[in-house]
Structure 1
């Protein structure tokens, strides 16, 4: 059901181009996933782009959850560039918000609302840049394609996956795609304004481990044959969060750049971690969240998330199941290697069932697309530092490489020291500065008119 705010946003028409106005309209569509119900929002974006003269096409496996592919024709001098963004948002239920999450209020220079960061504010930057380019009357060097999709927050089945599998011809010739950055963020003392450019993602390998033991009366010792003891051994094996460290080239490059631009003690800590990621003292003194993020980039992570088992307090369980959220490093790592390593670390008998396996992605590289974005950031914010980053989360960027497209995550923001917006995604009181939206839209416009 469309909310009153969404109805008002739709009926008020598409005639606008300011990034803040666009972001407000997008937030007012309640596209919480589940169920999604992105149709009204996607139709509004379609009308906005059609009015500006762009070619548009709606594609859907579910009429209530359509996707939009729009194209601004270029001069054919360079390959097409793909921008992609999702309009579904995560739920707000159970969260305590200071302001209505879908009212899109502007207070003290900040736009409040679910999706302000992830990723309706981001989409607004793309749309404002496209509209500005279309209004100029000068075609870009190459076609610009915008894919506005549903369902990213719940697996992408009716969104990007549907487009990639059913309509690959719409993306023919595309070499680079720009999407969200998956919340990639490092504070590191806020001594330097870092501009993350995501060049790779970890991929999911969710597993259900079944631990079986000899049932019986719980007044007697179960010992190593008990399912509960096997559970203890499993949880102990993964209590550090992963399966042993390994340094992949793109993470090594990222750490080298960070160590070079950060003042001490932060630069020194990063350098020490790069030399010996197994040393628990190498990141001492860093913010806990920063340290956890960095350690997640040098190992396949495994976290126990759901545990089920037992029938009564006085009965030894015959079976306990544990659901594990595994995340594999980017590169040549597969499920069989991951499962074998997990078994070896735990050291007891267990059945492993893969519940979800993310798409294998090519070895990450820092190619022309990355350097193009880095040049734009240096020009737009000379005091900031663009850095390549790997994100631990998964986005729609895992799907487009099937078509030979290299995906980059880029949310160009300029914020004051000590203030960040990426950390607010999926959280109550999500908001973003209006000046950050305007800065991002300007960066995207620069991307669209550059001829690299």
Structure 2
């Protein structure tokens, strides 16, 4: 390995640890957030400026800092690539950690800390790569826009969404983007690995169910108790199972992953496919969550006193929609709960799906193959949401790919938002090398 790559790996790990130690916690409640995101953004901007880049630090409001910097490529006629990470992390309160969550400690080859996976690992990596390119005089094939966003963990309102709405010129000419969630290895068979790339993301919406009835004293039950009516509606939602929707991203996964395993996953009915996906081991929960639309009741509200039957009861729902089927979910939900239950849609972010035949995916595969000759890149549908959805409003096709080669039984996705969040240090070195190849050739 060259001295330049050794420095890249060392800086990448150092920056990841430095960023973890900056407590940029996003509680989702404005008055409790503080200035952690801006402190992290200032750290990034200072490191970029040290090598002659001209980063722009933008605060959508005090303390909510994001950074954007552009590195010119050799072919200005090609669309720019946005490579982005978010600087905020979720809280740690109520979790039991065996190491300090913001200590960035390394134990037995594992880095522990909030953000080790989600996603200060990638923020530190792309920061180190930007510096590496400048130091070594490396000119990528297309313009690279390095973006470090605030507020992803609360929907990107004061981060990516704000920049897209208020500073779209920062992304001028961009056609594609790379960020979370994907790139981590999952077992195929034996020692072979697949590296998932998110070519689509489920949409996310929040809805509220409201039931009304006759209020009264708890000693005199009413036939139209709002709480009982709400309970029936919530139970109906919980019991409902939507049919499988074969999105392009799901079909791509079934075709490629099945071929690599030597089985046909494409021509199965819903029950057969559910059974086959359940057999996929560590990747089963992730793929299974992308098979169908889902509605999860999450918050119930009713009454204020035990001996008073309330006039109104409500439930909050988390709704996730498959690309191409989002138009059906509203009528479906009303049909599930019945006409006597009011359904109000609180927020709505549509799903996205990017072309799986983009030459960018060939670049991802080549970069993986240089480090893991038996590794294959496989598309899939992310059941969650990322800042790629906001960039999509500018016509930017987003892909989730943070390359990480991890031990066969290690579930990277399970590290998101959990206690003792951790990642192998050697996986971070792998990530730096592979991502450097991707950005050089993309």
Give TM-score scaled by structure 2 length.
Answer: 0.88
Q: 2:293 aligns with which of 300, 303, 325?
A: 300
Q: Aligned-pair distance for 1:409?
A: 0.7
Q: 1:188 to 1:215 in 2, by over 3 A?
A: farther
> Structure 1's 281 and 426: CA in aligned 2 closer, same or farther, altered over 3 A?
closer
* Residue 354 in structure 1 maps to residue 345 in structure 2: yes
Does residue 33 of structure 1 match 2:32?
Answer: no
3-state SS of 1:204 partner: strand
Are the structure 2 counterparts of residues 416 and 410 from structure 1 closer, same or farther at C-alpha, using a change threshold of 3 Å?
Answer: same
Q: 1:17·1:132 contact (CA, 8 Å) conserved in 2?
A: no
Displacement of 1:192: 4.2
Q: Tell me how far 1:343 sits from its aligned partner.
A: 1.2
> 3-state DSSP class of the match of 1:427?
coil
Matched, 1:49 2:42: no
In the other structure, the counterpart of 2:275 is: 282
2:421 aligns with one of 419, 430, 437: 430
* Contact map agreement 1:55 1:72 (CA 8 A) in 2: no
Can you list the C-alpha shifts for 1:340-390, whole angstroms capped at 9, x where unaligned? 111112334111111121145356544222332123223321222211011
Task: Please say if 1:374 is aligned against 2:359.
Answer: no
**Inter-partner Cα distance in structure 1 for 2:274 and 2:399:** 32
- How big is the shift at 1:307? 0.8
2: CA distance, partners of 1:300 / 1:54: 44
Distance 1:226 1:191, change over 3 A: farther
Please give the alpha-carbon distance, in whole angstroms, between the structure 2 residues aligned to 1:447 and 1:114.
Answer: 26
1:5 maps to none
Which of the numbers 326, 329, 339 marks the counterpart of 1:333? 326
2:439 paired residue number: 448
- The verdict on how the C-alpha distance between 1:178 and 1:222 changes in structure 2, with shifts beyond 3 A counting, is same
Deviation at 1:396, TM superposition (A): 0.5
Question: How far off is 1:154 after superposition?
Answer: 1.2
* Change over 3 Å in CA distance of 1:241–1:109 after alignment to 2: farther
* Counterpart residue number, 2:169: 169
Distance 2:79 2:93 in 1: 43
SS in 2 for 1:282: helix
- How far apart, in 2, do the equivalents of 1:155 and 1:103 lie? 26
CA–CA separation in structure 2 for the residues paired with 1:93 and 1:318: 35
Cα distance change of structure 1 residues 189 and 230 upon mapping to structure 2, 3 Å threshold: farther
Q: Encode CA deviations 1:261-288: one digit per residue, 9 max, x unaligned.
A: 236xxx57xx28x611245862486378
- Maintained 8 Å contact 1:182/1:394: no
In the alignment, the residues of structure 2 paired with residue 317 and residue 47 of structure 1 have an alpha-carbon distance, to the nearest angstrom, of 56
State the shift of 1:293 in Å. 3.6
Specify the alignment match of 1:109 in structure 2.
109
Deviations 1:301-322 (A, max 9, x none): 1011011113444544432101
Question: Gaps (5+ residues) in structure 1?
Answer: 1-14
Of the structure 1 ranges 209-218 and 358-367, higher mean CA displacement relative to structure 2 is found in 358-367
Answer whether contact 2:79 2:143 (CA < 8 A) is retained. yes
1:85 pairs with 2:85: yes
Q: Distance in 1 between matches of 2:66 and 2:285?
A: 36
| 1:387-402 to 2 correspondences below 5 Å | 387-402=378-393
Matches within 5 A, 1:201-220: 201-216=201-216
The answer to which of 137-146 and 169-178 deviates more is 137-146
Name the counterpart of 1:70.
Answer: 69
Contact persistence 1:199–1:370 (CA under 8 A): no
Aligned residues: 428
Structure 1 residue 82 displacement after superposition: 1.1
Question: 1:431: Cα distance to partner?
Answer: 1.4
Contact 2:185 2:404 in 1 (8 A): no
Q: Deviations over 1:195-231 (max 9, x none)?
A: 11111111111100001233445566655x4434433
Q: 1:404 aligns with which of 395, 406, 410?
A: 395
1:149 corresponds to: 149
Change (3 A) 1:370 1:240: farther
Query: 2:140–2:440: 8 Å Cα contact kept in structure 1?
Result: yes
When residues 46 and 418 of structure 1 are mapped into structure 2, their CA distance, relative to the original with a 3 A threshold, is same
SS of the equivalent of 1:306 reads strand
Q: Deviations over 1:166-205 (max 9, x none)?
A: 1111211111111111798866888642211111111111
The secondary structure found in structure 1 opposite 2:399 is strand
Distance 1:284 1:406, change over 3 A: closer
Moved more, 133-142 or 181-190: 181-190
CA RMSD across the alignment: 2.8
